[in-house]
Amino acid sequence: MIDEELKALILQNKETLESLEDRLIKIQRKLMWHTVGGILKVVLIVGPLVVGVIYVLPFVREYFSVLEPVFNFFKFSAGGLNGEVLNSSDTAAVLGDERLRVLLEQYCNN
């Protein structure tokens, strides 16, 4: 009688372990796909941003090089963003720049 009870318990434990093993395999597979999905999300979000920055950077540099005389007209103090007008010799040098004149005429005429 004891042998039959032990056999029944062993069979029950074996079935339970097989059930747990199946669940564990499913959980591992699900975690693997979640990891792959997370990596794909990062690649699909960060990848285009990096490519966009690389592609747009020359245009931004060109834009700021055109507006450089306007930016040079103002000096920003170290204490904040209070614009200080340059002294008269610097102002004359900046206003004497032909690129600035063309730029101002272009924006004033539009």
pLDDT at 78: 36
Question: Average pLDDT of each block of 10 consecutive residues along the chain (110 residues)?
Answer: 88 96 97 97 93 88 78 52 47 61 72
Domain map of the chain by residue range?
Answer: 2-109
Rounded Cα distance, 81 and 77, in Å: 6
Torsion from C-alpha of 64, 92, 98, 70, nearest 10 degrees: 20
pLDDT at 73: 67
β-bridge mates for residue 76, sequence order: 83
Joined together, the tokens standing for residue 89 give 């010799």
The string of DSSP codes covering 53-73 is HHHHHHHHHHHHHHHHHHHHH
Instruction: Give me Rg for the CA atoms of the chain.
Output: 36
